[in-house]
Amino acid sequence: MIEELHDIVVIGGGLCGFACAVRSAWNGKKTLLVEKRPALGWESTWACQLDFGGTTDAVASRVVDELRRAGGLKGGRADAPILEMILDRMAAEAGVSVLFHSYPVRLVFEGDTAFGVVMGNKSGEQIVKAKVVVDATENALLWRQTGVKADLNAPAAKHVVFFSHPEGAMELPMVLSDEVKILPSVWEDEVCVEFMLEKVDALTARRKTPEILEFIREEVPQLKDALVTHSGNEPFPAALSVHFQEEHSKVKNLFGAGIWASEVENAPVGRLNLGEKVGAAAAECEGTTEFPAEMMTGSYISQPEVASDVLVIGGGTGGAIAAIAAGRRGVKTTLIEAGTSLGGMGTGGGIHWYCSGTGGGLQDEVDQRVSKLTPLFVGKWSVKGFHPGVKKLVLQQMAEEAGVDILLDTVVTGVIRDDAKAQAETEKAGTDTAIAISEAEEKMNRLLGVIAVGTEGVSVYHAKAFIDSTGDGDVAAMSGAPFIIGRERDNLTHTFSQSAGTLDNDGNLSFTNFDAGYVDPTDVDDLTRGRRLGLSLYWQDRFTAESRVLYIAPLVGLRQSRQIAGEYQLTLADEIAGRRFADGISFVTTFYDNHGFDYANESDEAALWIWPLGNFSRRIGCEIPYRCMIPRNVDGLILACRALSLTFDAHAGLRMQKDIQRLGEVAGIAAAVAAENGISPRAIDVKELQAVLKENGILDEKYRPKTAIPEGKPLELPAPDALEPEQTEALAWISTYAGSETALAMKGMLNSDDPNVKFRAAAALAWHGINDGVQELLKCVENREAEKTKGNKSAPIWQAAITFLGMAKDGRAIPVLLGVLKDKNATLDGLIGAVRALERIGDASVIPDLHEFLNRSDLPAERNLQISMGALKHMASAIEDAGWQIELAVAETLLKLGASKDEVRQIIEPHLDDDRAHVRRYARKLL
């Protein structure tokens, strides 16, 4: 999408930009709409300006009609999440291409002609070519770059907070003062409180909220005990933020679609009407057809440089705590966050509870302060977990008290390293194929600064020490650290979710969270696709008070992204064994929370842990060595997020908020110590760090995980007839630590009368490449043994047995596996397992059978992803098509068996154009 030539590119996906893009697409133009937030129409969907009254032109009429039809409009007031879905659907229907998470950096122009726009985002910088450019930014960023004289204003702003469950009737709108009024909502049981701020600033809005809530609770009896469910993600400017002193005239194919460009009412419909007018005019403009190559390059630093002692990039779960911890040590700390609040996934991502993890340290103080402030927000109601709005505020208060400079709405797009000389060099992080750690360039780079783009353009941020808490390891990857992405076989990361706020059956605040599909978090194009996919699952033709959501979480629910390779890479085996390390700086207490389905495609260890052993819920945990936080090849940087140096399997257990918050604290202290001493975080004295961590509770022994299989415990195999409940433990132990000699003792279990025990023993033996249990496994498959072994997430025995037959690499399995490929009742994972098993057995005679298998017209077409916690009853199922998994598994097997490359290419090639990055990436890898 980014590489294509567009007739029109509209920069800014607010209401003006949205209407402009839709109109130009309606008029037949190939249009790209670029927006920095992951939502369209921010004025209404994020800042919650929801009055849709006034005379409507075509686009606005259509929006209003759609709102009415979906039940999202009442008395001229709209519902924000329904509107978000409608705008998204309308853009899709009109054929507008949408790119989220992307900020304008520079208008590419010369003389009177614009050629395109340089954009900045977490994938780096890209140039979009377009015949016509429309500046629909709120602050006329591109327009100003043409040299037109302008004055910047800092207008006052409005901010909103929503209350559910008012008690008693209220006459609305209710004006409480010049500053505060109460507006109706689409929903009977909800009101919207709007208050004035002196400037457009999310930090100011949040700071002022408690005082407003106290005022409301005192002044309005109906809201005394009501529940504050959510607030706008950002305030809305009450007036122009830029004034032009002269008419813009120079650039003939640049249009302006902001309220600064025309006299319109500063309200949703006024903005839509204005955008539509500009869209119609832009569609009339032929624009340029030439794009001089020398113009289409270059970064653009437009803002003054900023220097700090410690720079934290990403103000999420790990980063907010890291900044507080660093600030408290008295070093000058700056925090850069792409979103509009602190707290990341736990607040902006809508996952506002701790399902597991280890407490202790600074996070306990955060939690205590959150608990203390919660009654002001919930009234007589309650919240599942913690209140996300309260935690956003508490993190901000604590960071501000610690002297941290917080920059919201700013995204890091590149880095400056010691090899970059005077020129700022933007390193595009690997977004394509993960760099195999062994192949990565082993060269130490010193990180000197990061390049970040915000509302006013690009700046460079220098620091003595940097903390990467982007969740994705953006800064480490941009700095040249090697990384892995996804599981080894097909680089698939964990499923993502798109959370939303909901009320539970009792009317208390809750959230919904599910598996929506897969997405590549390092690729903004794919991230946009993911967001829109997640959003689409909430759609209903007609929403009701019971079936609506309160808000769509502003952050996409990313469970996993890159795992940066550090000086040590933690493994699942470490977690199972409760390992200790000389440089241990934290504990993780967890379970193997992998959202996988197809364990035939996961590691052998994971397949054993889950399918035959059903160990999903089993408690595991260990110490975390400091080296996991230190990226290889980069000096000056420490990691404090889920992108820590872990294997794919270890990450399933080490990603919970409490565990990441601890790492934030460790990183904050370590980076401050490094900055104080003028050394890199990798060079600090870990013993001294450990002493601090003992003092502040992080390393208190009470937090050491109690694992079932502690390291060093001698193996005692239970007798075959006394295996419950110890059998799981014994097998787990064998699978992860004991050598094959010990495993041989498992042979005795093959004589057990319990089919479960026999199967588990056969599977564990096969795991060690010992084929004594093959007959047992074959029997399980031939009889289609459908029972599941005890435990959580175990698979039907026959299906799991297929995968272990592959591990045993025993040719006797071939006819049985080929039988599975012909079986019309075989499950998707049984089929994939059989293909993978044939690959491991490695007999080329099955090549024709594999081709025949692909010709089956009745292969499973889809995978129904699990709907997990709190998912709404009426939600659409999240479905991933299964075709790519089957076809690419067969292609990989054919390649490994030596089939002709041309033959295999035909299977792979159609997947190279898939709109999902994970499918394209696996296809490219196979080619």
Ligand X SMILES: Cc1cc2nc3c(=O)[nH]c(=O)nc-3n(C[C@H](O)[C@H](O)[C@H](O)COP(=O)(O)OP(=O)(O)OC[C@H]3O[C@@H](n4cnc5c(N)ncnc54)[C@H](O)[C@@H]3O)c2cc1C
Q: For ligand X, which stretch binds (CB under 6 A), given 314-322, 621-629, 711-719, 781-789? A: 314-322
Give the number of other CB atoms < 10 A from CB of residue 918: 22
Give the number of other CB atoms < 10 A from CB of residue 419: 11
Identify the residue among 470, 479, 571, 633 touching ligand X (CB under 6 A).
Answer: 470
- Decide whether 273 or 493 has the Cβ nearer to ligand X: 493
Give the number of other CB atoms < 10 A from CB of residue 713: 14
Residue with tokens 């934030």: 664
Identify the residue among 657, 680, 735, 752 touching ligand X (CB under 6 A).
Answer: 657
Identify the residue among 175, 239, 355, 444 touching ligand X (CB under 6 A).
Answer: 355
318 binds ligand X (CB under 6 A): yes
Smallest gap, in angstroms, from Cβ of residue 355 to ligand X? 3
352 binds ligand X (CB under 6 A): no
501, 549 contact by CB (below 8 A): yes
482 binds ligand X (CB under 6 A): no
AA identity, residue 691? A
How many residues are present in the chain?
927
The torsion angle over the Cα atoms of residues 911, 913, 917 and 922, rounded to 10 degrees, is 30
What DSSP character marks residue 566?
A: B
- Decide whether 101 or 248 has the Cβ nearer to ligand X: 101
Identify the residue among 81, 104, 256, 316 touching ligand X (CB under 6 A).
Answer: 316
Interface mask (CB under 6 A) for ligand X, residues 610-649, using x and -? -------------------------------xx-------
313 binds ligand X (CB under 6 A): yes
Q: Name the residue among 97, 183, 180, 148 with its Cα closest to residue 258.
A: 148
Instruction: Please report, for residues 278, 346, 386, 878, the alpha-carbon distance to residue 229 in angstroms, rounded to integers and kept in the order given.
Output: 37, 15, 12, 26
210, 107 contact by CB (below 8 A): no
Beta bridge pairs of residue 244: 150
Identify the residue among 215, 244, 291, 353 touching ligand X (CB under 6 A).
Answer: 353
Instruction: Please report, for residues 192, 763, 918, the alpha-carbon distance to residue 600 in angstroms, rounded to integers and kept in the order given.
Output: 50, 13, 18
Smallest gap, in angstroms, from Cβ of residue 152 to ligand X? 24
Identify the residue among 558, 763, 878, 904 touching ligand X (CB under 6 A).
Answer: 558
Q: How far apart are the first and last CA of the chain?
A: 22
Smallest gap, in angstroms, from Cβ of residue 458 to ligand X? 13
Structure tokens at 114: 């614009």
415 binds ligand X (CB under 6 A): no
Smallest gap, in angstroms, from Cβ of residue 471 to ligand X? 3
Instruction: Please report, for residues 50, 162, 174, 191, 837, the alpha-carbon distance to residue 183 in angstroms, rounded to integers and kept in the order given.
Output: 10, 10, 7, 6, 63
- Decide whether 274 or 656 has the Cβ nearer to ligand X: 656
Q: In 157-261, where do the E strands start and end?
A: 157-164, 174-175, 180-184, 190-197, 227-231, 236-237, 242-244, 254-256
660 binds ligand X (CB under 6 A): yes
351 binds ligand X (CB under 6 A): yes
469 binds ligand X (CB under 6 A): yes
Smallest gap, in angstroms, from Cβ of residue 881 to ligand X? 21
- Considering only residues 6 to 45 of the shown chain, the ones binding ligand X according to CB under 6 A are none
Q: Name the residue among 210, 222, 207, 213 with its Cα closest to residue 174.
A: 222
How far is 144 from 174, CA to CA, in rounded Å?
A: 40
Cis bond upstream, residue 173 (ω within 30): yes
Smallest gap, in angstroms, from Cβ of residue 292 to ligand X? 31
Q: For ligand X, which stretch binds (CB under 6 A), given 10-18, 135-143, 435-443, 555-563? A: 555-563
Smallest gap, in angstroms, from Cβ of residue 603 to ligand X? 20
What DSSP character marks residue 909?
A: G
Smallest gap, in angstroms, from Cβ of residue 591 to ligand X? 11
Identify the residue among 315, 449, 566, 614 touching ligand X (CB under 6 A).
Answer: 315
Smallest gap, in angstroms, from Cβ of residue 524 to ligand X? 10
How far is 299 from 427, CA to CA, in rounded Å?
A: 11
Smallest gap, in angstroms, from Cβ of residue 560 to ligand X? 8
- Decide whether 229 or 317 has the Cβ nearer to ligand X: 317
Identify the residue among 17, 232, 346, 614 touching ligand X (CB under 6 A).
Answer: 346
Identify the residue among 354, 587, 609, 798 touching ligand X (CB under 6 A).
Answer: 354
Identify the residue among 259, 338, 573, 770 touching ligand X (CB under 6 A).
Answer: 338
Smallest gap, in angstroms, from Cβ of residue 435 to ligand X? 18
Q: For ligand X, which stretch binds (CB under 6 A), given 167-175, 332-340, 745-753, 896-904? A: 332-340
- Decide whether 740 or 868 has the Cβ nearer to ligand X: 868
Structure tokens at 415: 């880095």
Q: Name the residue among 566, 584, 569, 581 with its Cα closest to residue 693.
A: 584
Q: For ligand X, which stretch binds (CB under 6 A), given 181-189, 299-307, 351-359, 624-632? A: 351-359
Smallest gap, in angstroms, from Cβ of residue 354 to ligand X? 5
How far is 757 from 720, CA to CA, in rounded Å?
A: 8
Identify the residue among 559, 579, 836, 916 touching ligand X (CB under 6 A).
Answer: 559
591 binds ligand X (CB under 6 A): no
How far is 696 from 681, CA to CA, in rounded Å?
A: 20
Identify the residue among 548, 627, 655, 682 touching ligand X (CB under 6 A).
Answer: 655
- Decide whether 124 or 270 has the Cβ nearer to ligand X: 124
Cis bond upstream, residue 848 (ω within 30): no
Structure tokens at 164: 């559910």
587 binds ligand X (CB under 6 A): no
The torsion angle over the Cα atoms of residues 655, 658, 661 and 665, rounded to 10 degrees, is -120
Q: For ligand X, which stretch binds (CB under 6 A), given 241-249, 465-473, 565-573, 810-818? A: 465-473
- Decide whether 185 or 347 has the Cβ nearer to ligand X: 347
- Considering only residues 501 to 530 of the shown chain, the ones binding ligand X according to CB under 6 A are 513
Q: What phi, psi does 67 have (nearest 5°)?
A: -60, -45
- Considering only residues 64 to 123 of the shown chain, the ones binding ligand X according to CB under 6 A are 122
Smallest gap, in angstroms, from Cβ of residue 522 to ligand X? 10
Interface mask (CB under 6 A) for ligand X, residues 374-413, using x and -? -------------------------------------xx-
Task: For residue 297, count CB atoms less than 10 angstroms from its CB and return exposed for 0-12, middle for 13-18, buried for 19 or more.
Answer: exposed
How far is 549 from 544, CA to CA, in rounded Å?
A: 9
Q: What phi, psi does 341 have (nearest 5°)?
A: -155, 170
Smallest gap, in angstroms, from Cβ of residue 356 to ligand X? 7
- Decide whether 50 or 641 has the Cβ nearer to ligand X: 641
Smallest gap, in angstroms, from Cβ of residue 202 to ligand X? 13
- Residue burial 680-697, b: 16+ Cβ < 10 Å; e: rest: bbbebebeebbebbeebb
Q: Is the dihedral of CA 664, 668, 673, 678 positive or negative?
A: positive
Identify the residue among 317, 510, 647, 789 touching ligand X (CB under 6 A).
Answer: 317
- Decide whether 548 or 642 has the Cβ nearer to ligand X: 642
Identify the residue among 242, 656, 670, 908 touching ligand X (CB under 6 A).
Answer: 656
Q: Which residue is nearest to ligand X (CB)?
A: 316
Rg (C-alpha) for the chain, rounded Å, is: 28
166, 188 contact by CB (below 8 A): no
Percentage helix, strand, coil, to 5, in the chain?
A: 40, 20, 40
566 binds ligand X (CB under 6 A): no
Binding stretches for ligand X (CB under 6 A): 122, 313-319, 336-339, 344-346, 349, 351, 353-355, 357, 411-412, 469-472, 474, 497, 513, 557-559, 641-642, 655-658, 660
